Amino acid sequence: MVSPEHIDNQKPENQQVYSSNVEQQLPAGGEKKRTWLKPLMRVGGIVVPLIGGFAIMFLLISNPDLQWLMLVALLLGVVGALLFRSWWAILVVLLAFSLGEFVAWQLAPVVLSPDSLFFTDDVAFGEFFLAIGGAILAAIGILIGTAIWGKGDRRLGKTGRKSSEG
């Protein structure tokens, strides 16, 4: 025989509490988990400063009058840090930007005609300080982008740490 309490426990009103908890944990039917987006953004956070550092340095070597392009390094730092979305962006994005500058520095004599370069010690010294200035501006941009990312994560309640609840 089945007791009346057992029948009362089997009613849908009592089971609805449990099912509503399960529904809250499951993603909605229209939402799909985009597991590929985070790695793609990290790759973009490396590629954008790499190509940007190369382009800025290459343009500065071929035409030293474009020194205003150094401000683009600041923007590249912010964009790279926002795409990378980690505190590691401070190191990784700056290394990517500097690597792009270094590759441009090494390829410029091969790609450009030697007459347009005519590197003297003064020109090479000036270009070196432009590269250092670009890296410093990129580092400032990376710090700004990382701070923006950190504030946005805190506002959304994401701290990047695992919760201690179960």
Tens of pLDDT, residue by residue over 15-64, are: 555 445 544 554 555 557 788 888 888 899 999 999 999 999 888 887 87
Whether 164 is in a domain gets the answer no
Question: Which residues fall within 8 angstroms of residue 55, CB to CB, at 6 or more apart?
Answer: 100, 104
Question: What pLDDT score does 115 carry?
Answer: 60
Tens of pLDDT, residue by residue over 132-153, are: 888 898 999 989 988 888 877 6
Whether 68 is in a domain gets the answer yes
* DSSP-derived secondary structure letter, 27: P
Domain range holding 60? 36-156
Bigger pLDDT: 116 vs 112: 112
Torsions phi, psi for 89 (to 5 deg): -60, -30
Whether 51 is in a domain gets the answer yes
* DSSP-derived secondary structure letter, 113: -
Whether 162 is in a domain gets the answer no
Number of domains in the chain: 1
- Give the Cα separation of 136 and 70 in Å (integer): 10
Whether 54 is in a domain gets the answer yes
Whether 43 is in a domain gets the answer yes
Whether 147 is in a domain gets the answer yes
